[in-house]
Amino acid sequence: MTINQQIKAMFFLAALTVAVMSCHSTMLEHTKKDQDILSLVRKNDTEGLSKALKDGADVNTRDHSKQSLLLMATINKQTEMAKLLVKHGADVNLQADNQDSPFLYAGASGQTELVRLFLNHGARFDIFNRYKGTALIPACERGHVETVRLLANTKGFPINHVNRLGWTALMEAIVLGDGGPKYQEIVQILKDAGAQLDIPDHHGITPLKHAQTKEYLEIVKILTSL
């Protein structure tokens, strides 16, 4: 290698080193910004978050498990924080590694106010949880009456969707519910909203048969009355 070639090689290596260091520095800067805004949400610091977002922070920042800021706020039941994030354009459908999204989690946890907010800001009905279920199905399972009422009466919502367990929202309310007043009300809501009452599970057992087997007599009356 000639001296000129050696000099060119040295300049090239020097330039490459600077570029790598600059890239590394930028990555560290972005990582720090991400950690800062994640910390603001964890601390429920709406004032700090508002300032960070106005300064250009990414409203859809995610943590190591792909939980978005909005999902974190929803999990922590930080309603005002969630409203602030949505106001700044947070995606209500972003899914974490476990397939939770803000909309799905709000439904499953019975946060009706957030469910309504997310419905008004682009909630999608073709994104499912890890059981391939909708926001309505776990709401029925857990007895969240008002959330069920809202979702069941939302235009276009797939009220008869079957999850990978072979259960509809109605089936889940009966199989996993206790047959008590709130589950009776949920079954009535689903029926009134036009849910199909005879979709069987993977074993061919209908909701009515499950209710009869469990001796949920009030639910049997609802399912069989005109």
Q: Is residue 77 part of a domain?
A: no
Q: Is residue 22 part of a domain?
A: no
Closest CA to 153 of 189, 196, 102: 189
Give, as one character, the DSSP assignment of residue 126. Answer: S
> Given CA atoms 25, 26, 29, 35 in this order, what sign does their dihedral have?
negative
Residue 25, amino acid: S
Q: Which domain holds residue 186?
A: 159-226
pLDDT over 90 (residue 7): no
- Residue 132's contacts (CB-CB under 8 Å, 6 or more residues apart) are 163, 164
Give the confidence band of 27 by pLDDT, cuts at 50, 70, 90.
Answer: very low
Q: Is residue 130 part of a domain?
A: no
Q: What is the pLDDT of residues 53-75, one digit of tens each?
A: 999 999 999 999 999 999 999 99
Q: What is the pLDDT of residues 100-149, one digit of tens each?
A: 999 999 999 999 999 999 999 999 999 999 999 999 999 999 999 999 99
Contacts 24+ apart (CB under 8 A), 78-84: 78/41, 78/44, 79/111, 79/113, 79/114, 80/46, 81/41, 81/44, 81/46, 81/49, 82/114, 82/117, 83/117, 84/46, 84/49, 84/50, 84/53
- For 57, 104, 123, the CA distances from 157, given in Å and listed in that order, are 33, 13, 10
Q: Is residue 224 part of a domain?
A: yes
pLDDT over 60 (residue 30): no
pLDDT over 80 (residue 184): yes
pLDDT over 70 (residue 222): yes
Q: Helices 181-192 and 145-152: crossing angle, nearest 10°?
A: 0
> Residue range 63-90: average pLDDT?
97
Q: Is residue 211 part of a domain?
A: yes
Q: Is residue 122 part of a domain?
A: no
Distance CA 52, CA 155 (A): 36
- What is the number of domains present in the chain? 1
Q: Is residue 218 part of a domain?
A: yes
Q: Is residue 63 part of a domain?
A: no
Average per-residue pLDDT in the chain?
91
Q: What is the CATH number of the domain that holds 185?
A: 1.25.40.20
Q: What is the pLDDT of residues 156-179, one digit of tens each?
A: 999 999 999 999 999 999 999 999
